[in-house]
Every structure is written in structure tokens, then in C-alpha cells.
Amino acid sequence: MSFTLAIIGRPNVGKSTLFNRLVGKRLALVDDQPGVTRDLREGAARLGDLRFTVVDTAGLEDATDDSLQGRMRRLTERAVEMADICLFLIDARAGVTASDEGLADILRKRGTHVILGANKAEGRAGEAGLLDAYGLGLGEPLRLSAEHGEGMDELYHILRPLAEGFEERAEADAPATDIDVSEDGDAPDHTPSAAKPLQVAVIGRPNAGKSTLINKILGEDRLLTGPEAGITRDSISLTLDWMGTPTRIFDTAGMRKKARVVDKVEKLSVADGLRAVRFAEVVVVLLDAAIPFESQDLRIADFAETEGRAVVVAVNKWDIEEEKQDKLKELRYKFEKLLPQLRGAPMVTVSAKTGKGLDRLHDAILRAHDIWNRRVGTAKLNQWLEAMVTAHPPPAPGGKRIKLRYMTQAKIRPPGFVVMCSHPEDLPAAYTRYLVNGLREAFDMPGTPIRMFMRSQNDKNPFKGRKKAPPSKLRKHLEGRRES
């Protein structure tokens, strides 16, 4: 990335729509109601041959107290100070308002490079507001329509000379999953680096402390927090160096039960959080120590496991827990009982408020990531399989003896294994679970999702399942002569 562009403006002027236009994806939530965006969302933007970081911000309002609107305003003002260039949007159809004039005063004092954009200027309805924008004292306004893509060429020609002096920065890509591995080759190196940072998503119910935890990891108040539940709406990704590990961490919206989600914006927020899980390598399921392992927590953890991501369970607000030892025993018992599919996954107690336990959380994430990328040799697997079958032979449904002949690892991220056997369709699911649990213990793979596929060796027979061909006329003739 060559520079950072922050989109600033009052609520509902089209900042998120323009953000989505520049990144080429529907990343930011967009709705007709004002105030949808609350946090700062960064994206990799492309405009012609320009590559830069664009920041979507919350609408600036007049509140300056500690209310939600006041905290949103302070976060947006901070984005103005950090950005290389500010794009100040007004609504050309509504004209210049008193809030626009106040924002113009702030930008004249703080913004180094400010571009004035009049959005929603398509057609004649925006001409009056476009003329009014000259009075803001920020130069000639740029006529834009974020919805229809008008004015992008003019924006490019304005940004091009400003971008020449800025330093190039790298872009993080989505992680690769379900990677095929050869039987005898080593697994590729997936050590986190600056080019490929470790991707971590923090998910959980509303008000579990996800944004507060990430702020503590960052060492600054980067994300909007507060006592109100459901503050976070967008899934925000941030890149940092966490205790020497290049990391890209996703903050997500709180996920309530589906039946309780009736608001359109909340539905979009939850969908955005689920998408962040698919872009992560390790998922941290954050629980509230006061009410852990509710049904929604179990659904969230099961979703992460179903998506094939490494899972770490973190119990937050541990600093206010009084009976810590008894509570810890209770948590571990419930974890093993309610989440058997994540048997052995790390469970860490943390305090997002004080920062206690963050070192243990970091170590647990690295270990979960290492197990998620683990490769087991074919020879070791077949020795282990022989011992498992000897200790507990597979059943013989209907008198059919099922033979497990051969086993190999076919994939990593998460680990996937293939067992060649006879009659795989008749092998009970309980026996597959027996093998999976044995793999976890024998090869030290607790908690990570393990995929096991049963295949028949006859699958390679090209004639399997084909009907017997009818006899030819010559064959019928020869058979008739023999009979006579």
C-alpha cells in the first residue's frame, strides 16, 4: 500500500458505499438508516494503478461526552490524525449542513491533505449542494456518485500526485486451507511472517469483551468499546506484531440466537462475523466467566470446528471471579462434556480489562496453529492403525468382516486422513470416532478438527458397477453349435 485514505463525513452521506466501491467488495455494511458504521474498517483499495489502504469511519456527530456517539466521534477524529489523505464527503442532495461546516473546521486544522467530495451528485438533484460546497473553503468539490461509480476517474487524477511520496506497504492475503500433501513429502512451512501473518478471529456472544481484549493486545484503544451490548457491527481486521508473532486479528460482532436477530443491520453483522471465521486460521471463542457455555456459545464453537479451523477457548472477566479454583474445575468439566468434538482444545482464562493471561492465550494460539498444520508420516500411521485394530477390531455387520488395510494423511489445515478398507459404507460412525480420538492421543493433536475418510480399494476399479455386456451374435452362434 502506498498511502492511507480516510473517508470522513456525517452519518448517511455514503461513506461505506464509497469504501465498498474502492475495495471492489461488499465489506462494509450498508443500509439506508444512519449510524450503521461504528468502528474503523480498513480495506485494500484499487483505483487504476494505485494501491492504497482506505479507512471507513463512523459518521461524525456533535456529541463530545462519553456516550456511544461521543466515543465514535473520538475514534473518527483519531483516524483523521493517522491518515495520509482525508476524503471529506457531503450529501449533495441535502446540501451543506451545520454539521458539515463543523467538520470542515476540524479537517482544516488536523488534516494534511483534504479532498472535498460531493456524493449523490448524479442528475440535477445534486447541483445546488455541489455549488454550496465551495463555501466550505476546502477547494473545488469533486462530483461523486458512490452508488453508480461516477467520479472515480477524477478521484484517481487527484490522488495520483499525492501518492508519489508515500512508502509501499504489503497486503495480507486470505489463508490457504485443505492443502493436499504427498505421502512421503514434508508439509510446507506455514510459520507466520510479515507477508503471511497468523490470522486469528475472536468470536462470541454480545458483551463478552471481544473488542476490549483486542484493544489490550494492541496496547491502544483502537476499537470502540463500552458497557452497551452489540457495539461492534463490522468485522474489523488489524495487523500487529504480537509478542514477536506477525498477526492479523479480526474483531467480530456479537452473535445472538438466530430467533432473536430481527434487525436487518444485526443480521448483516452476524453474517460478516461468520465470514471472518472462514478467513481465519485460529478462532478464539471468547466466553463470559459469569455465564459460560450457554447454548449460543456451543453453537459458535461448533461452527468454528465445522469450518475446519483451529479453536482456542478463552474465558474472559476472570479478574472478577472469586472462587477461581472451583470455577476452573467446573469449566473444564463442562467443556469436556458439552464439546466432545473439541476434546483437548486449549482453554485459557484471561482478563481483557487487566491484560492478565494474554501471554498464555498467545502460546495457546501458536500451539493450536502448529497442530492445525501437523503432518504425520505414513509409516507411523500404519503402525498405529495396526495396533488400534488389534486392540479393538471393527465390527462385522451382517457377517461382513471389515478390513482396514492402509492409512495415509491426505491434507493439512486441518489434518485429513484416508483409510483404505473393505465395505466402508458399513463401518459405524462410532468406530470412526474411536480412530479419531486415538489419533488425538497418539500424535498429540488435541482440539484441532480431524477429518477422516473411509474408502474402498475397489474404488480404483474402472469396471466396478458396470452392467454385464450382452453376448455377441458370434458368441450365441458358437454356444448353439456346442449344444447341438
Grid cell listed for 227: 458497557
- Is 206 one of the annotated binding-site residues? yes
Contact 73, 9 (CB under 8 A): no
Q: In this structure, how many other beta carbons lie within 10 angstroms of the beta carbon of residue 37? A: 25
Q: Which of 397, 456, 17, 66 is nearest to 225 (CA)?
A: 66
Q: Angle CA(241)–CA(246)–CA(248) in degrees, nearest 5?
A: 95
Contact 361, 314 (CB under 8 A): yes
- Is 476 one of the annotated binding-site residues? no
Q: State the Cα–Cα distance between residues 35 and 58, nearest whole angstrom.
A: 7
- Is 461 one of the annotated binding-site residues? no
- Is 382 one of the annotated binding-site residues? no
- Is 253 one of the annotated binding-site residues? yes
Q: State the Cα–Cα distance between residues 201 and 347, nearest whole angstrom.
A: 16
- Is 207 one of the annotated binding-site residues? yes
- Is 318 one of the annotated binding-site residues? yes
Length of the chain: 484
- Is 337 one of the annotated binding-site residues? no
- Is 20 one of the annotated binding-site residues? no
Contact 201, 284 (CB under 8 A): yes
- Is 15 one of the annotated binding-site residues? yes
Strands 4-8 and 41-47: unpaired
- Is 121 one of the annotated binding-site residues? yes
- Is 316 one of the annotated binding-site residues? yes
Contact 71, 49 (CB under 8 A): no
Residues linked to residue 8 through DSSP beta bridges, in sequence order: 88
- Is 251 one of the annotated binding-site residues? yes
Q: State the Cα–Cα distance between residues 409 and 186, nearest whole angstrom.
A: 11
- Is 264 one of the annotated binding-site residues? no
- Is 63 one of the annotated binding-site residues? no
Contact 37, 59 (CB under 8 A): yes
- Is 196 one of the annotated binding-site residues? no
- Is 107 one of the annotated binding-site residues? no
- Is 210 one of the annotated binding-site residues? yes
Q: Which of 379, 271, 230, 370 is nearest to 312 (CA)?
A: 370
- Is 59 one of the annotated binding-site residues? yes
What is the chain's Cα-based Rg? 29
Q: Around 85, how many Cα atoms within 13 Å sit in the side-chain half-sphere? A: 22
- Is 9 one of the annotated binding-site residues? yes
- Is 472 one of the annotated binding-site residues? no
- Is 57 one of the annotated binding-site residues? yes
Q: In this structure, how many other beta carbons lie within 10 angstroms of the beta carbon of residue 478? A: 12
- Is 76 one of the annotated binding-site residues? no
- Is 14 one of the annotated binding-site residues? yes
- Is 479 one of the annotated binding-site residues? no
Q: Which residues are annotated as a binding site for GTP?
A: 9-16, 56-60, 119-122, 204-211, 251-255, 316-319
Q: Which residue ranges make up the annotated binding site?
A: 9-16, 56-60, 119-122, 204-211, 251-255, 316-319
